Structure 1
Amino acid sequence: MHKDMVFFHIETGFLEGGQEKIREFAALRIHDGQVQKSCFFQEHPKIEINNDDYDELSQNDRTCAISLSGKRGEILDVLKEAVLISHQGTFNLQILEKTINSYLVNDYWDTYELARIFFPMMQDYQLSYLAEYLSLGNDEEEDLQLAERKAYLTWRVFEACKDKGRQYDLSFFDQAQVFLEGWSGKGFFDDLRREIRTQFPERRIQTDLVLAPAPEGLFAQVQTSHRQIPDSIEWVIKSFSQGGILEQSLPGYECRFGQMKMAKLIAEGLTSAHHVVVEAGTGTGKSFAYLLPSLWFARKTGNKVVIATHTIPLQEQLQKKDIPMLEKVLPFSFRTSVLKGKGNYCCLKNWLSCLNNPSEIRVRDQKLAVLSILIWLRETHTGDIQELSKVPGLMALWPNLNADHEMCNPSKCSKAGVCFLLRARKKAEEADVLIVNHSLLFSDLKTDYNVLPEHHQLVIDEAHQIYQTALQNLGSELSLEMVLRTTESIYRKTGPSFYSSLKVRLGSLSERVPAVAWDTFAKHLETIPELCLKVSEQAKELFQLFERILGPNRTFRFVPQHTNLSWWELLLIQIENLTGRIKSLSVVFQNLTSALNGEEADEAEELRYLFATHLRELQQIQETLALAVNVNDPKQVTWLEQSARLYLKSSPIEVNEILREKIFKRLDTVILTSATLSIADSFNHFLQDIGLPLSTKTAVVDSPFDFDEQMKFYILKNYSHSLPSSDQEKVERLSETILEIVKRMQGRTLVLFTAHKLLQETYTLLQPRLTNINIDTLAQGIHGERTSLLETFKRNSRSVLLGANSFWEGIDIPGETLSCVILVKLPFWPPSLPLIEARSEFLKSQGRDPFQELLLPEAVIRFKQGFGRLIRSKEDRGFVVLLDDRVLAKYYGRYFLNSLPIKTHLRGDDNLLYEKIQEWQLGIN
């Protein structure tokens, strides 16, 4: 790099009035890889200095309290004519300019953005994580102040990015160049490109797709051992016993009776072809308990076993941790694979289209996401988006890159030899045990079993989610963006589309397939642009009406009474108009298909496939629109929902009959397991919900943990009744309670909310106060997506994590990092949610109690999940605090308490709570 560089870091704090101010400033000026100058200044965050009281300060206080503005000259001297580089420092740069009263015209590069580009598969880009992941730490710097250490780490992250960039040939920089315009980091790429051209003039320039070498040929034959597979089910049970192969071969493995019991039940279910439901408490080791019998059964019989999970972390655990351990242990080899929906895989044809049409990507974050993908494709073997860090811009870009696209026909694709989706499907066909998620399982049902390979044995983990997932996946949803994406894939004024691609090909098609009446074909084709524009215009009008109907609400359910309202007639007309225009467009595809009748050439077959795909998409839009006005079906609910965008959604109210017919009657064995399936030792609610008879084989396998010894469960008594009347005062009281608990726990706390609004309001009050006592506050919806939040929380024990719905389950943070879980409220679903409201009305119409049969059971299951976040190993210790005393005051409280794996609990006011936490901190039982 030809310029001097200054790596700087700023630590900020809050004054009592809430104003953010610099506490520490550190800078390193680097010339030719060596520190040329450095400076460090520290300012006390709570002391305002003036001439009258300066003389009264001690010498140490004077040093700490020196105002940075007084060091303006020294700071500007260090920064002079250098490239400024920091980590996530754009905002801090503004604070620095304000503090020293100087506008800095230097080039600025952000190592946070560079790291996101050059290390695209990391889950977090905080300096501490980068230092650990890239082994950048230096023990000699441990005695430095925080800002100084971070300035050095920023320098090392920068060098790591530069070293990685040096590996690439100039084609990478050629492809990247057009996406760099307008970004402050462009100079980094320009300098690196010049360096490579100078130092590596003979490096080969690759002109085609640059991908990671496949670990094996796409269709390579996977070899499996011909060693004798154990015949007896007794072998499975003995594997889990004392002295069995697991205990002999896995360091630290302990025989657990519950795990052995569960494995026996599953092996019996597989071999005897009956369904089994097992609730396995935390620490049972349920993954091994179903993996080992499944692998043994699949290899012994040649029957594929499908394992379906709800969450990605569990899939990752099975694929990257549990299965590799069993590969080393079991006396036979086996093949496993993970298959996901088409939308998870990168389509290389779409990717090339993106590179060839860069003008369509105008948003800065999306341009940086393209740069991340450029490097990721040089490293990935799967093309699975879950490998990619969810950097800003990626999710907006991904719909145009993934394989869930009407033009995607892997078997006919020119990139079939390197197609990620085709590779995944091939491995799925060859696998003995195939891992999928719940959504893909239901996609298989919706397509009459055309998604997954043939199988007759199924294991469903996290089975408490199966009912909700069925409702979501067996329903439908539509947004304006979805309609426009469909029409624009058919025709758009600029950029690639079905219409433009086919029009270019007409000449060659007429030569290759002369029997087709291409003149007639072309006339039908020419009607597409106008029809697509009409569909788009009408869809925009309809969704504008939806916005007016929804108003300021988050949801709006369509019910029979609405047919008497003034807007209903307008809604019918709008939907009829849009449906009519979609039908006109569908007729064009039918006419195009008819023009190819009788022609068997490959080109004609490929076109028919594309036409059928477009017709299917248009048909799905029509079906969803029809549901919006069909308000008299008591088993169907349709509503508007505003989230990131406005959706029209529809769902069946009950799915038990569908699950019974399409899963349980069709398959020989279905194993359903979770840590939370029963309510007060009864499985009846779960079995009825999913369509299994009450006579189904069920079992509860208790956790091996001693919850009464390892934790304290504290219910804050009379807390709900003592809350102030105003919402603002309630938030202030809640924030105060959380603050007092977190101070005593020194961070290490997860707070679970049932509403995002309350979470955000609480965060606003908590964050500055916790910052001043050196505790970080992380909040869902504010600090990134779930995975990165959890990684950040795990690495810093002095932090508190605020989470809502998705954080009540699937979180595994063993050790002291998480020592307290605060449950703000009992997790009842709001009865006004459209689906909950409709299901409640349906139950009432049958003379049933929706609270007892729906709201209460759902809340108890979620409560058990939230409670279970604390104790994840035998070494874990801590507190679960419930701030909702309805569990004591209401009759239904016993259902919550009787469903927990704990025999005793504490109850009292907040002073007693703080005293108990203090005792726990001092090791007093």
Structure 2
Amino acid sequence: MSTPPSPPRFVLPHVPALVAGVRGAVLLDTDGEFHNLSLSEAASAARATPPLLCHGPAVAGRLGIEPFPCLDILELFAFVRPARFCLPTAKGVIEAAGLAPPADPEDEAEGLFRAARRLLEELAGRTAGDTAARAADTRSIAWAMARAGWSWGTAVLAALGVQGDAERNNGLRVWERLPEWSEHAPEPPPGNVPVEPDEARARLTAILGSGAEQRPAQADYASAAAAAFVPRDRMGEPRVVLAEAGTGTGKTLGYIAPASLWAEKNGAPVWISTHTRNLQRQLDSELDRLFPDPLEKARRVVVRKGRENYACLLNYEEQMMRNRPNEAVATGLMARWLLATRDGDMVGGDFPGWLSDLLGRPRTLGLADRRGECIFSGCPHFNKCFIEKAVRRARRADIVIANHALVMIQAALGGLDDANQPTRLVFDEGHHVFEAADSAFSAHLSGFEATEVRRWLLGPEGDGARSRARGLKRRAEELVGLAEDAPAALDAALAAAQALPGPGWQNRVLDNTPGTPTESFLSLVRQQVYARAAGGESSPYSLETDCRPLIDGLAEAALELAEALGRIGAPLTRLARTLEKKLDDEAAELDSNTRARIEGLTRSIERRVLVPVAGWKAMLEELVEGTATSGQYVDWFGVDRIDGRDVDVGMHRHWIDPTVPFAKAVMEPAHGVLVTSATLRDGAGGPDWGGDGNWDAAEKRTGAVHLTAPALRAAVPSPFDYPAQTRVLVVSDVRKDDMDQVAAAYRELFLAAQGGALGLFTAISRLKAVYKRVAGPLDEAGLSLLAQHVDNMDTSTLVDIFRAEHDSCLLGTDAVRDGVDVPGQSLRLIVFDRVPWPRPDILHKARKSTFGGKAYDDMITRLRLKQAFGRLVRRAGDHGVFVLLDPLMPTRLHSAFPAGVAVRKVGLAEAVAVTREFLAERQD
């Protein structure tokens, strides 16, 4: 029994504070003296005495050393304010604590102590006001962390009034505190009441409120989107609307208006699918205007993602029960988050992305079900499972915010977790449908993929045998005995699984000493790739080559592997059918829990093993027979490499046109589909992609061309005055292959803009080369530089920092180009290192041949330029400059930019002058 807490005491650790920059650091010692240090001096000081700092991995990266012991204020923040975000910088934490923003690094160092004290005071006050049970949980978790040596342990226990070893760590058993989800009767089928255009306009007006600015284009867009919410007339002929809405139209609320109205009228959810986590968060935020009451919104709006995005309570329990001191801090902070989270979403939800940087992915994001090992109703935490709760809430919601990958993969497999498919879909960021479908409907017979199947079937082997992961036998052991033929079928499948790559397969494939049929096939694939791919072993990049003609022995190895895969699939199919028959034969006797477990097991067998194995077997047989493509697919062999080291090898198959299966599996079963984006149409293009503003191109990229009934087309222009608000410059005198010249251009342009600059790159190596050359000069000028693939932070965190700090600069690649939404002064300059032509790989070669040759290259490139330029102006008051450092930019690509925007070809000196003058004239 816990003793009553003592009065809180606020005892700050007696340590130095450290703030590191690009070229130097500031240390505030324990005597209150500031020291300006070189990075090497700061590294020595940090290793000598653990300092107070913000984001230890990032600081270690700046100092050029491995992470070291420290007092990271972000750990304290995560304990005091679980499931809440702050910028993971000294300035960000200080401001989040409600203190005045620091003016310089000295202020930041001192501010870290003030922020720490403020957080401890907040913790003491909140805990004092909590219920006795919640307060006990907080003290118990803190005690467990302190006992394991948490650097903040003493200060936190003092603030909580905990003395001695009286607290037990029951607070870590979070599953005992979480509410259970409740089951409901099956939902009735959706109605077929249409949404009329005038109704959509009226709903939009209601959402915006009476005092909102009148935006006729937004109302026109909502009216056009309503056509996707009209009943269909024939099976397989959904009402499809392709709607291009220029930036600033307000398309999000424009389609929410008819979507929410249809859901209310017909008693069924509308699934809104996006491509990026940022837009999922934005959508969730926008829906506050429709549902201002948080409780009502929680009932009517659900964010859905794949199972691998949610925390698994069983994984957490296993980590907690291991009781390892080196995991105690992570376990405690995860316990705090699990008790506070809205829905258990660890990727883009209320889990701070920087927490995995601090604690390590295995102890944070690794708690999600990333290997498909869920045992469904066999789990002791099934009735409290975040994933199962989200699935059930989605059935009764009005709006489900999903993502392209989830919608496509689940629809292709016959339903969203439980065979329920939505009848109304909205695909926002519709320009990504082609790429998302390409990923969802591709197949990869690689060492990594095959190893995952083996692991799912047999469980961990070798060094991994001590993990919690369960093989199929353990997951199914209580069920196979229910059917007479099931045990033999299971044993046969598990024996056949030995043909898949075993532990250590990478070394055996590399040494050409294979031990299984899969490894024999992969060894010969690797031999063919290295024999025929350009560059070979001298290339640091991944390699690929055509499948045919096959080298000696590869056909035989492929047939042997195909037969081995058949020996896996046949008994598993028999097992699944036997169990399904049990459901039918004993429908009256089986309890609900057993029925749910059988359904979950058979569904997992189908999705995790039978579907990929059948695909691999077909690929191998067609490879040998010479019928591998049939005009629909493109196959190739590849070796994935990182820094010149092999990490995977295999055979790959993609649809030449992935919108064919997308249209069949996703669009045709639906009753209405809205595909929308600011960049659906090409804007130009060759004759193969059609005229009329290139709507034909939009229909081909979205799959609408494969449907029987024609799609309705709608285009609403942007309200922005792009000729007045933007400048587009093509620099003609910088050699794009000379990284010194390229880096000098970035440096001078960023300085001319005084920050607020986004640098985009077509290759990671070019990004890193520029970063090395410009980080110091920008730091001297007082401009902070953030860089994807350089800073030890995930991309979303870097974007959050960039958005908040108006004068920072960010370097990034495709993920930044497509995922940034940074309005206002934070983004006023975009610099692209060169024309973003598509990569000339085997897959692109096949598509280029099918879709119109050079016109296809131009279309893809124009769309990429349009998407990048679209980041620049997000609100009416925004303005900015777009610079392309490529003198070979062809004039036929100029139509990627809005009508009326002149593309000027200038020298670097003039580009710098134009940037400086244009932005200076428009400073707030």
**TM bracket (short chain):** 0.7 to 0.9
User: 2:633 aligned to 620, 628, 636, which one?
Assistant: 636
Counterpart of 1:288 (choices 244, 249, 253) is 253
The answer on whether the counterparts of 2:225 and 2:674 sit within 8 Å (CA) in structure 1 is yes
Asked if residue 261 in structure 1 is aligned to residue 210 in structure 2, the reply is no
Q: 1:395 to 1:453 in 2, by over 3 A?
A: farther
Counterpart check, 1:918 vs 2:916: yes
1:715 pairs with 2:730:
yes
For residue 668 of structure 1, the aligned residue among 654, 668, 671 is 671
For residue 697 of structure 2, the aligned residue among 673, 685, 688 is 685
Counterpart among 408, 411, 436 of residue 402 in structure 2: 436
Q: Counterpart in 2 of 1:699?
A: 714
Q: Counterpart of 1:25?
A: 27
What are the Cα deviations for residues 97-130 of structure 1, in whole angstroms up to 9, with x where unaligned? Answer: 99xxxxxxx9843334554566564264211122
Change (3 A) 1:294 1:436: same
Identity %, equivalent residues: 19
On the 8 A contact 1:476/1:651 being kept in 2, the answer is yes
> Could you say what secondary structure the match of 1:5 adopts?
coil
Distance 1:619 1:326 in 2: 43
Question: 1:335-414 counterparts in 2 under 5 A?
Answer: 335-357=300-322, 369-386=330-347, 387=349, 388-390=351-353, 391-392=356-357, 395-396=361-362, 401-403=367-369, 406-408=372-374, 410-411=376-377, 413-414=379-380
d(CA) in 2 for partners of 1:799, 1:270: 44
Report whether the alignment pairs 1:39 with 2:42: no
Question: Does the aligned pair in 2 maintain the 1:410–1:419 contact within 8 Å?
Answer: no
Query: Residue type of the partner of 1:456?
Result: T
**What is the CA deviation profile of residues 707-756 of structure 1, one whole-angstrom value per residue up to 9, with x for unaligned ones?**
1111222222x33xx628xx5xx100000011111111111110111111
Shift of 1:894: 2.6
Does 2:425 match 1:463? no
Aligned to 1:111: 73
Structure 2: distance between partners of 1:419 and 1:611:
20
Q: Distance in 1 between matches of 2:772 and 2:311?
A: 38
Give the match for residue 766 of structure 1.
774
Query: What does residue range 221-620 of structure 1 map to in structure 2 within 5 Å?
Result: 233-238=197-202, 244-246=205-207, 248-249=209-210, 253-271=212-230, 273=232, 274-319=239-284, 321-328=285-292, 335-357=300-322, 369-386=330-347, 387=349, 388-390=351-353, 391-392=356-357, 395-396=361-362, 401-403=367-369, 406-408=372-374, 410-411=376-377, 413-451=379-417, 453-477=420-444, 480-489=447-456, 490-492=458-460, 493-498=465-470, 502=474, 521=487, 528=494, 535-537=501-503, 540=506, 541=509, 542=519, 549=529, 551=537, 552=539, 554-557=541-544, 559-563=546-550, 565-566=551-552, 568-569=554-555, 572=558, 575=561, 579=565, 582=568, 586=572, 601-602=590-591, 606=597, 610=601, 613-614=604-605, 616-620=607-611
For the pair 1:870 / 2:872, whether they are aligned, the reply is yes
Letter of the structure 2 residue corresponding to residue 923 of structure 1: E
What is the CA distance between 1:367 and its match in structure 2? 6.8
Counterpart secondary structure, 1:325 = coil
How much does 1:858 deviate?
Answer: 1.3
Residues 911 and 394 of structure 1: CA distance in aligned 2, closer, same or farther (over 3 Å):
same
Equivalent residue of 1:872, what SS?
A: coil
Q: Verify the 8 A CA contact 1:377 1:383 in the aligned structure 2.
A: yes
Q: How far is the alpha carbon of 1:587 from its aligned partner? A: 8.8
* Structure number with larger C-alpha Rg: 1
Query: Over residues 854-895 of structure 1, what are the superposed CA-to-partner deviations in whole Å (9 max), with x where a residue is unaligned?
Result: 2221111111000111111111122111222333xx3xx334
CA gap of 1:10–1:570, structure 2 versus 1, over 3 A, is farther
Q: Which moved more, 1:111-120 or 1:289-298?
A: 111-120
1:61 matched residue in structure 2: none
In structure 1, the residue matched to 2:852 is 849
Letter in structure 2 aligned against 1:435: I
530-539 vs 791-800, which moves further: 530-539
Tell me the distance in 2 between the aligned counterparts of 1:94 and 1:305. 45
Deviations 1:804-832 (A, max 9, x none): 11122231111112111112222211112
Residues 530 and 153 (structure 1 numbering): CA distance in 2 closer, same or farther, change over 3 Å?
same
How far does residue 472 in structure 1 lie from its aligned partner after superposition?
0.5
- For 2:440 and 2:775, the matched residues in 1 are separated by 38
Distance in 2 of aligned mates of 1:348 and 1:653 = 41
Distance (Å, rounded) in 1 between the aligned partners of 2:398 and 2:10: 56
Corresponding position of 1:153: 112
TM score, norm. by length of structure 2:
0.78
Q: Tell me which amino acid in the other structure corresponds to 1:373.
A: M
Cα distance in 2, alignment partners of residues 318 and 869 from structure 1: 17
2-structure distance, mates of 1:585, 1:370: 40
Q: Deviations over 1:259-316 (max 9, x none)?
A: 1111111124423653211110110000111001111122223343221111111111
Distance (whole Å) between structure 2 residues aligned to residue 38 and residue 348 of structure 1 = 45
Alignment of 1:112-261 (within 5 A): 112-115=74-77, 119=81, 121=83, 122=85, 124-135=87-98, 137-138=99-100, 146-157=105-116, 160=119, 164=123, 167=127, 186-189=150-153, 192=156, 198-199=162-163, 206=170, 209-210=173-174, 218=182, 233-238=197-202, 244-246=205-207, 248-249=209-210, 253-261=212-220
Pairwise CA distance, 1:248: 4.1
List alignment gaps of at least 5 residues for structure 1: 15-19, 30-36, 47-66, 99-105, 224-228
3-state DSSP of counterpart to 1:6: coil
Structure 1 position 812 matched with structure 2 position 821: yes
1:667-716 deviations in Å (ceiling 9; x for gaps): 33211110001122221112123332495321221111111111222222
Over 3 Å counting, the alpha-carbon distance change for 1:673 and 1:406 in structure 2 is closer
Structure-2 separation of matches of 1:712 and 1:94: 36
Preserved contact between residue 676 and residue 861 of structure 1 (Cα < 8 Å)? yes
**1 CA distance for matches of 2:243 and 2:658?**
21
Deviation track 1:391-423 (CA, whole Å, cap 9, x = no partner) reads 236544567633466553545543233121121
The runs of 5 or more residues in structure 2 that have no matched partner are 1-8, 128-133, 188-192, 233-238, 510-518, 531-536, 684-692
State the alpha-carbon separation in 2 of the partners of residues 222 and 710 from structure 1.
53
| 1:785 alignment partner, one of 770, 794, 805 | 794
Cα deviation code 1:35-56 (max 9, x no counterpart) = xx4112457x89xxxxxxxxxx
